[in-house]
Structure 1
Amino acid sequence: MGSGNAIRGSRVGAGPMGEAERGESAPRVRVSFWCANMHETRPSFASDAAVPEYWDCPRCGLPAGQDESAPPAPPRNEPYKTHLAYVKERRSDTDGAAILAEALERLRNNRSPW
């Protein structure tokens, strides 16, 4: 008697799998892209598909373009800013001192005597 395994002797991907079952593949074109680190990437596209202007480099993650002599510049990374840094951009030191004095005065006026 069998062990009950219906697909005994098979594995994933086994069996005839040719163009007759998959269909014919579309005509392809390979396009070269270069990043700022001069890595070349050659993805393939269907010949009737629109080729994008930029492609992400799989080695370093920078944007890559089709012009080898002038690859796109790396994106500018802004450093993390705290809430206080954003407030200081909007307010001058004198404005901050005036707001602090107003808040302290309000707290002193609302304080109940003991």
Structure 2
Amino acid sequence: MASGSAIRGSRVGAGPMGEAERGDTAPRQRVTYWCANRHETRPSFAIDAQIPDSWDCPRCGLPASVDSGNPPPVPRNEPYKTHLAYVKERRTDEEARQILEEALQQLRARVSRGEIIL
């Protein structure tokens, strides 16, 4: 016994003539971009659209440009820095020793006053 589905093989929104029912598409142009890994990407743009200088390569994710002989360089990834690394960039070892000594003096003073019990 056959299934009662009369719309087998069609999609929701698909009309009897497909694209013609929705109207004509805008005139398009294809632009070729190359990444540092020499991947070629060809997205299409409307004729009157502003063409971007760079495009992300869908294969490797690197930036690509229209100049095949001079693709954009691979971006440098900065390593993750901890809070301590940022502090060490701002302070010298001598400044760190002074700050530590001041903090220890304040702590010892609070202990001697009985504010803190160790």
Normalised-by-shorter TM-score class: 0.7 to 0.9
What amino acid maps onto 1:9 in structure 2?
A
Hey, what does 1:109 align to over in structure 2? 109
Distance across 1 between alignment mates of 2:17 and 2:93:
73
Unaligned runs of 5+ in 2: none
Distance across 1 between alignment mates of 2:96 and 2:18:
74
What amino acid maps onto 2:11 in structure 1?
V
Matched, 1:53 2:57: no
SS of corresponding position for 2:37: coil
Displacement, 1:74? 1.4
Contact kept, 8 Å, 2:34 with 2:65, in 1: the verdict is: yes
Displacement, 1:22? 1.0
Percent of pairs identical after alignment? Answer: 63
Matched, 1:9 2:13: no
- Cα distance change, pair 22–15 in 1 and its aligned pair in 2 (3 A): closer
Unaligned runs of 5+ in 1: none
Displacement, 1:15? 4.3
State the aligned residue count: 108
Distance across 1 between alignment mates of 2:20 and 2:81:
59
Distance across 2 between alignment mates of 1:19 and 1:57:
29
Give CA-to-partner distance per residue, 1:64-102, whole Å, 9 cap, x none.
000000001111110000000000000000000000010
What amino acid maps onto 1:59 in structure 2?
R
SS of corresponding position for 1:26: coil
Hey, what does 1:85 align to over in structure 2? 85
TM-score normalised by L of structure 2: 0.84
Distance across 2 between alignment mates of 1:80 and 1:24:
50
Give CA-to-partner distance per residue, 1:36-86, whole Å, 9 cap, x none.
000000000111111100000000000000000000111111000000000
SS of corresponding position for 1:79: coil
Distance across 2 between alignment mates of 1:43 and 1:15:
27
Contact kept, 8 Å, 2:31 with 2:42, in 1: the verdict is: yes
- Cα distance change, pair 23–15 in 1 and its aligned pair in 2 (3 A): closer
CA RMSD of aligned residues (A): 1.8
